[in-house]
Amino acid sequence: MVLSIAGHDPSGGAGIQADIETLAALGCQAATAITCLTIQDSRNVHELIPQPAEQIIRQVEAVLADYPVRVIKIGLLGSAGVAGAIGQLLLRHPEIPVILDPILAAGGGAELASENLMEGMLQQIVPRALLLTPNSQEVRRLTGQQPLDACAATLLSQGCGAVLITGTHEAATDVTNTLYRPDQPPHSEQWPRLASSYHGSGCTLASAIAAGLARGLPLDQAVSAAQRYTWESLAAGWKPGRGQHIPDRLHHRQSE
């Protein structure tokens, strides 16, 4: 069982829908708590409607009181108040590993995180996370650093267990994703760059890592397997609308 705490995407490409699809495809049951509603399509987020923090926490506590949740995956937060409330919730459940996908902007460019929200995320959630999965743009904005090694070091110094920085936004022929852990050398994996732009790729990756951990894989193996699954989902993706492509997260089941 994996609990996803994330936003609702009516286009079905990202957020809770992406998490549910990914977890189901990888053999896990998804429980969910909605942090915010959105008005969005495959091109951009047009409006963000955060939900009351108290209601979100009640959603989560009801699930945790009933189900044996093995991993919590956190995506779009919506407000600084929600970040603070979730941070306090995590203090009450330190036994559950946390994967944080720090979503700061939509693929179309819409801002999804204020300075207060980023500060709340850094203070309340990052120290309690087993793994962060920012892209290179997000990690630079979170830390104020430019070299990616320095960005990762800054986040590790704040208490998180590991950082996976994805390199889709970097100018390189292949995409390089690098896992940073304390007292270990960085571990990078390269993936052929795909021609299209994708809606929900970060959600897919973070949820796939959560699924691997929930099924008992060590962190490094869960990260590696999730990267392959995500790349294959993107490669099989399609374009249902007028914006970005959507990952085909059920591709492997259709081929069996």
Please tell me the predicted confidence (pLDDT) of residue 253: 65
Dihedral sign (CA 133, 136, 137, 139): positive
How much is the average pLDDT of 42-66? 93
Q: Tens digits of per-residue pLDDT, 239-255?
A: 888 888 999 999 876 54
Question: Which pLDDT band, with edges at 50, 70 and 90, does 256 fall under?
Answer: very low
pTM over 0.75: yes
| Residues paired with 177 in a beta bridge | 189
Please tell me the predicted confidence (pLDDT) of residue 15: 94
How much is the average pLDDT of 137-158? 94
**Mean predicted lDDT score pLDDT of the chain:** 92
Going by C-alpha positions, the residue among 251, 199, 224 that lies closest to residue 17 is 199
Question: Rounded to an integer, what distance in angstroms lies between the CA atom of residue 144 and that of residue 1?
Answer: 35
Please tell me the predicted confidence (pLDDT) of residue 225: 98
Q: Tens digits of per-residue pLDDT, 210-249?
A: 999 999 999 999 999 999 999 999 999 988 888 889 999 9
- Residue 111: pLDDT above 80? no
Domains of the chain from N-terminus onward: 2-255 (3.40.1190.20)
How much is the average pLDDT of 132-140? 94
- Is the Cβ–Cβ distance between 202 and 97 less than 8 Å? no
How much is the average pLDDT of 163-177? 91
- Residue 170: pLDDT above 90? no
How much is the average pLDDT of 26-39? 96
Q: Tens digits of per-residue pLDDT, 69-93?
A: 999 999 999 899 999 999 999 999 9
Please enumerate, as own/partner, the contacts of 193-198 that have beta carbons within 8 Å and a separation of 24 or more: 193/168, 194/231, 194/234, 194/235, 196/234, 196/237, 196/239, 196/244, 196/245, 197/107, 197/244, 197/245, 198/107, 198/234, 198/237, 198/244, 198/245, 198/246, 198/247
